[in-house]
Amino acid sequence: MACQAYLWALPLVSFAHWQTQHRDVFGATSSDLVHYVSYRDRLGIITVNATTPYILSLVDLSETGPLVVELPPGPTAGGLGDFWQREFAVMGELGPDAGRGGKHVVVPPGQEAPEVDEGWLVQRATGMNIMFGFRTLDPDQGRAQSLVDAVRIYPYAERDDPGPPGSSPRPARHGRVTSPADWTTGRGFTTSISARSSRSATGSTSRCSGSSESRKAGRLNPTSGSPRS
């Protein structure tokens, strides 16, 4: 029974711990995107591709309410899943927009979907805490970075003034893991965060293009039992 309880709870506990590390170590909010860019950055995530940049956000919908995710047109792949690691929406080339980009509004469980303009895609979350995962499929680094920079995530309540991507009072953070052991010890771990301008209670900000700062994590183990790509 104990073994079964452990296996049953592992998906939820691992994602909840990952969310805690995003917030406590990286300072990321529900409106921020954390980049896993280098090979070393991805060493602790199971089954990821060795050369693909991954961009993730672990969102508490009780903080944001309905959430907007904007994807640019282009070769991308992504999706939304709950903390039981059950996917409830596919985005990008394999999604309903078929790579044309668009706006997705994520509705928390038990809430009515807001009235949205034609062309918006309504996604009903299967849990109050969710993960948005995104990756670019363009082999050209410049074009791939442009796609990443165009992604936006913000509360639906701020849809009339979400703030433009690429301008921010807070710098994006860039860095590298110094060794594979850093995934369990957190020694010297730094990462990159894209944030967006926001007046919400989460206190998130927008990405500042061209500026960076290093931030060492005191501890890190964000992906024990982490998701499949």
The answer to the question of residue 15 being in a domain is: no
User: Is there a contact between 70 and 153 (Cβ–Cβ < 8 Å)?
Assistant: yes
The residue segments making up the domain with residue 119 are 28-213
pLDDT in tens, 175-197: 333 333 343 444 433 445 555 43
pLDDT in tens, 134-173: 888 998 989 988 998 899 999 999 988 886 664 332 333 3
Of residues 37 and 85, which shows the higher confidence score?
Answer: 85
The helix (run of H) or strand (run of E) holding residue 124 is strand 121-124
The answer to the question of residue 191 being in a domain is: yes
Tell me how many domains the chain contains. 1
CA distance 86 to 127: 9
Task: List phi, psi (to 5°) of 142.
Answer: -65, -45
The answer to the question of residue 222 being in a domain is: no
The answer to the question of residue 44 being in a domain is: yes
- Strand 192-194 to strand 76-82: parallel, antiparallel, or no bridges (unpaired)? unpaired
The answer to the question of residue 57 being in a domain is: yes
- Strand 87-92 to strand 76-82: parallel, antiparallel, or no bridges (unpaired)? antiparallel
The answer to the question of residue 223 being in a domain is: no
The answer to the question of residue 218 being in a domain is: no
What CATH number corresponds to the domain at position 172? 2.60.40.1610
Q: What angle do CA 132, 135, 139 make, to 5 degrees?
A: 170
